[in-house]
Chains A and B, each alone.
Chain A
Amino acid sequence: MHLLETKDLGIVFGGLQALNELHMVVDDGEIVGLIGPNGAGKTTVFNLLTGVYVPSGGAIHLEGNSILGKKPYQINRIGIARTFQNIRLFKNMTVADNIKVAMNQNMKYKSLTAMLRLPPYWRQEREVDKKARELLRIFDMEDTADQTAANLPYGQQRKLEILRALASQPKLLLLDEPAAGMNPTETKDLMATIRDIRDRFNVAILLIEHDMSLVMNVCERLYVLDYGTLIAQGPPEEIRKNEKVIAAYLGC
């Protein structure tokens, strides 16, 4: 059984077929890339997988169970977490609180317990605080825990978004252009971290990226989209030589 499997997945916006009969599988612990020229429908795939859009046709299965019709928050709870192309942090909250929001689903105390400040509140808050700081340590960001998220430099904001997604304990992590706006050194660091995250958290990663050095180095398999249609799939070496892919990127 595959971790994630889509069959004939498609969506139509008005008269535009934004995505057409996508077959895609992701297995446990894999790092898979989703590439394609601008407007190919990559982010649309993410929005379909996370329940933001409802597909016009086809099926999405996570560990064999259909996730069609589930709301984004329900899909997050059963194991798919994502980051966004344009960073969407909770800007006026602290860095630690950003992460704690994603941990909310695993906290149990009731609102009355919180209002009366009963022991379960203290115990669970302490636990979650510790966990949040541990997560921050992965990116050496533990000093920033009490800062406001908006005050972080750009690179750290991207990292925080990844950490926040990890905090919800996903089985599948969707990264939407994690290296966007990063310089070559930062991108290199990011490659190492993506592998590290996969090993440490035992998650499968599906990532959209335009930086080919990152994609070719990190991903084990690639899917290439163009105008909403899958034009190629396979290991990076094959994709590099694939004529259709070259044509799509060069536009001839």
Chain B
Amino acid sequence: MTAFRKKIATNYIINAILVAILFVVLVILINTGVISRYNTGILTLVCINVILAVSLNLVTGILGQLVLGHAGFMLVGAYASSLFTLNSNLPLEISFPISLILAGMVSAVFGFVIGIPALRLRGDYLAIITLGFGEIIRVVSYNLKITNGSMGLSGMGTLSNRENPSPMFIYAFLIAVVVIVIMFTFGRSRHGRAVISIREDEIAAESMGINTVYYKLFAFVLAAFIAGVAGGIYAHHIQMIDPAKFDFNRSVEILIMVVLGGMGSITGSVISASVLTALPEWLREFSQYRMVLYSAILIIVMLFRPSGLLGRNEISVPKILANIKKRIANKKVPSDAKEE
């Protein structure tokens, strides 16, 4: 058991080091201007979409409930955080992090309120209710004074500027890392097992003492919280939000990332969110064909990997290293045999 624990600990350390290296390298490249401001923006967007996809994966992949209004939570978070930073007198360096927490909490409250009726029932009611929520919240924000109607909110300001282009990326990256870590540690705990058991068989889970309503709500509200935070970062990244940015298409876009990466696979979501965010941007040169290529990729993946790129598996660097080690060891054995 101690050997087992040691192995887990080394895996944690390897992963932590790799993430730290990636982070430092990217920040240096951004600060030295090797990665242009345009590309830094795309990288930030990648991180935001990773956060969204991973949080949606918690509900859709791990809990097994379809959500069609994830952009609605993003909208709530975006407006909540923007309204806070616009109206508070604090400098952005302080008000921004506070606004993100606020964004998450407001969004979680919305998640709780619409989750209670939907999740007390068995079946796909959550899909319909979240679909309705996404549309209603958008229409409401078109018509409220506080959200400034269809003009939306602008002038939030951002932490990045010409001299210092990296802060927004740093925020997005670190929060994405925290979210991914939370998903992993949550998934491999008693709570995660309870949530997965609900996906596998709700009736059996309940008869084994799992409070299914509680765990479904827990996962859904957690996902709503994270989506709200992502919305907050998004608002301060593009500095101009209006309801049209958070329509049904946006929800579907996030859902596609989850499905393509593999429902239930966190690393799958990370990979597909990164590729599907960056690809359309980098394909701008072939402007006429880029959406064709985008859809072609989706069709091809769904044809050949119907359960998504990774299915329910996870990519793990330590595992890959172990495999490589094994292969090298295997290659050595026959050559030794020959010498004998």
Contact = CB atoms under 8 A, between A and B. Distances in A.
Interface residues of A, number: 39
B201 A71 contact: no
A72 B186 contact: no
Interface in B155-210: 181-182, 185-186, 188-194, 196-197, 200-201, 203-210
Contacts of B185: 114-117
* Most B-side CB within 10 Å, residue of A97, A114, A116, A122: A114
Contact of B209 (A76, A93, A109, A115): A76
A101 B205 contact: yes
- Contact residues of A: prevailing secondary structure: helix
A52 B200 CA distance: 18
Contacts of B203: 52, 84, 88
Interface in A76-121: 76-77, 81-82, 84, 88-93, 97, 100-102, 104-105, 107, 109, 111, 114-117, 121
A102 B201 contact: no
A114 B193 contact: no
* Most A-side CB within 10 Å, residue of B194, B200, B201: B200
A125 B197 CA distance: 17
B209 A82 contact: no
A126 to B, nearest CB: 6
A114 B191 contact: yes
Nearest to A92: B200
B89 to A, nearest CB: 33
B125 to A, nearest CB: 19
Given A52-B203, A93-B197, A121-B189, A126 B1 contact: yes
A73 interface: yes
Interface in A159-200: 164-165, 167-168
Interface in A125-164: 125-126, 128, 164
B218 interface: yes
Contacts of A93: 193, 196-197, 200
Contacts of B200: 89-93
A77 B189 contact: no
A97 B208 CA distance: 13
9 contacts: A50-B207, A71-B211, A72-B207, A73-B209, A73-B211, A101-B210, A109-B189, A115-B182, A168-B208
Interface of A: 50, 52, 71-73, 76-77, 81-82, 84, 88-93, 97, 100-102, 104-105, 107, 109, 111, 114-117, 121-122, 124-126, 128, 164-165, 167-168
